[in-house]
C-alpha cells in the first residue's frame, strides 16, 4: 500500500480533517470543556456557582471558536504573528479581569460564604484559558498540515498524469499536418508568409515541449503561446478573427503553464463556421491581488450537438485549479445563443 493510500485510510486522521466528522469533533471539544467547569467543586453558593460555571463555559467555548475561525485564519495562517499574539493576549487579560471581578463580587456581596483559595482559583482559570487556546491552535494547525499534505500528494499525482497527457498530445498530428501543408502551399504563392508561419509553429512547439514543463512560467509567455496558436489557426481559415487584449500589471507575473490553452482550444474547435465570420476574443486583466481571464467565442449559426466544454480536458483544468488555487479562484461558464464565454478569476 502506498503512503498516500495509508494516509487516506487512517481513521484517526479522517476524524480530524474530514467534513463528515465535523459535528463529532465539535461535540468532543464541548464535552471536554464542560468536564472541566461543570464538574468542578463548588466554592460559592449553589445558584452563584451554577451561573458562574455556565458563564465561564460559554465564555471559553466562544474563545476557542474565535481563535479557530477568526484569529487563526485572519492572522496566524497569514503569518501575521504579532497581530495573532495580540489577540490571544487580549483574551488572557479579559479572562484575568473576569475572574478578578467574580472574586470581588463574592468577597463584597457574599462575605458569609467562604472561598477556597481564590487566588489559586483565579490562576487556574487563566491557566485553563491558555491551555484551551494552545489546544485549539494545535488542532487547527494539525488539520492544516494534514490538508496540505493531502493536497501536495494529489498535486504530485496530477502533475505526473498531466505530464503524461502532454507527452501524448504535445504534437497533434492533424494540426501539424495542416500547418505543414499550408506552409508548403505558401512557399510557392507567398514565401514570406510561409516563413512567418513556420517560425510561429516552431515557437509554439518549443514552448509546448520545453517551457511548459516548468512549475511556473511568465504570464506574458503563456499569452504569446496562445497568440501564436490563434495566428496559426487564422492562416487556415479566411473567415476567422481573434483579439488578445491585456490590461494591468502583467509583466513579471507567473502562472501555471498551459492553464488557459484548454479554453482557447475549445473555443477554436467549436466556433468553426464556413459561411459566416467567426471569432475568439481573449481578455487578461491583472493587478497585485487578482488575475482575470475571459474567453469569448462565436457559435456557428448551425447548432452543433453537445456544444461546450467537456471531457477530460475540462476535468483536468478544474482539478488543477482546485489544487493550485484552493478557495482562490472562481470559474464561470456561460453558454448563450450566439456566444460561449469562460470567466476565470484567480486571487493571487
- The pLDDT score that the predictor gives to residue 242 is 94
Cα R_g (the chain), whole angstroms: 31
- The pLDDT score that the predictor gives to residue 106 is 64
CA separation for the pair 31, 29 (Å, rounded): 5
- The pLDDT score that the predictor gives to residue 15 is 62
Cα angle 329, 241, 169; round to 5: 60
- The pLDDT score that the predictor gives to residue 44 is 46
Domain boundaries, the chain: 3-161, 172-209, 216-347
pLDDT along the chain (348 residues), means of 10: 45 64 74 66 53 76 85 85 88 81 66 50 72 85 82 78 57 63 80 82 80 83 90 82 92 87 85 80 90 92 55 72 85 89 91
Polymer length of the chain = 348
Provide the CATH number for the domain formed by 216-347 in this structure. 3.30.565.10
- The pLDDT score that the predictor gives to residue 12 is 62
Instruction: Give me the helix-helix angle, 311-324 and 261-269, nearest 10°.
Output: 160
Whether the CB-CB separation of 254 and 217 falls below 8 Å is answered with: yes
pTM score above 0.85: no
Give how far Cα 29 sits from Cα of 58, 67, 140, Å: 12, 14, 13
Buried b (16+ CB within 10 A) or exposed e, 93-108: eebeebbeebbeebee
- The pLDDT score that the predictor gives to residue 220 is 92
Amino acid at each position: 500500500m502506498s503512503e498516500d493510500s495509508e494516509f487516506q485510510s487512517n481513521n484517526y486522521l479522517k476524524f480530524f480533517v474530514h467534513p463528515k466528522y465535523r459535528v463529532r469533533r465539535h461535540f468532543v471539544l464541548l464535552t471536554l470543556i464542560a468536564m472541566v467547569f461543570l464538574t468542578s467543586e463548588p466554592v460559592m453558593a449553589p445558584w452563584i456557582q451554577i451561573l458562574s460555571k455556565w458563564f465561564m463555559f460559554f465564555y471559553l467555548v466562544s474563545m476557542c471558536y474565535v481563535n479557530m475561525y477568526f484569529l487563526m485564519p485572519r492572522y496566524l495562517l497569514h503569518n501575521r504573528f504579532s497581530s495573532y499574539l495580540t489577540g490571544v493576549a487580549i483574551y488572557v487579560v479579559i479572562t484575568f479581569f473576569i475572574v478578578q471581578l467574580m472574586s470581588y463580587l463574592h468577597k463584597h456581596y457574599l462575605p458569609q460564604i467562604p472561598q477556597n483559595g481564590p487566588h489559586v482559583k483565579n490562576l487556574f482559570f487563566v491557566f485553563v484559558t491558555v491551555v484551551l487556546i494552545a489546544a485549539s491552535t494545535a488542532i487547527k494547525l494539525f488539520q492544516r498540515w494534514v490538508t496540505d499534505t493531502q493536497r501536495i500528494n494529489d498535486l504530485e499525482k496530477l502533475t505526473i498524469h498531466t505530464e503524461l497527457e502532454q507527452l501524448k498530445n504535445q504534437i497533434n498530428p492533424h494540426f501539424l499536418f495542416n500547418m505543414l501543408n499550408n506552409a508548403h502551399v505558401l512557399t510557392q504563392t507567398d514565401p514570406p508568409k510561409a516563413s512567418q508561419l513556420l517560425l510561429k509553429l516552431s515557437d509554439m512547439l518549443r514552448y509546448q515541449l520545453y517551457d511548459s514543463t516548468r512549475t511556473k512560467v511568465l504570464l506574458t509567455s503563456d499569452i504569446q503561446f496562445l497568440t501564436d496558436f490563434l495566428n496559426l489557426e487564422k492562416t487556415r481559415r479566411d473567415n476567422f478573427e481573434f483579439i488578445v487584449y491585456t490590461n494591468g500589471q502583467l509583466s513579471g507575473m507567473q502562472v501555471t503553464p498551459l492553464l488557459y490553452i484548454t479554453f482557447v482550444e475549445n473555443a477554436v474547435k467549436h466556433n468553426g463556421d464556413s459561411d459566416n465570420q467567426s471569432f475568439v476574443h481573449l481578455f487578461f486583466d491583472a493587478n497585485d491581488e487578482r488575475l482575470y481571464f475571459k474567453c469569448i467565442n462565436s457559435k456557428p449559426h448551425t447548432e452543433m450537438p453537445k456544444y461546450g466544454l467537456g471531457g477530460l480536458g475540462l476535468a483536468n483544468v478544474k482539478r488543477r485549479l482546485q489544487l493550485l488555487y484552493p478557495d482562490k479562484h472562481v470559474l464561470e461558464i456561460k453558454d448563450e445563443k450566439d456566444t460561449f464565454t469562460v470567466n476565470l478569476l484567480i486571487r493571487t
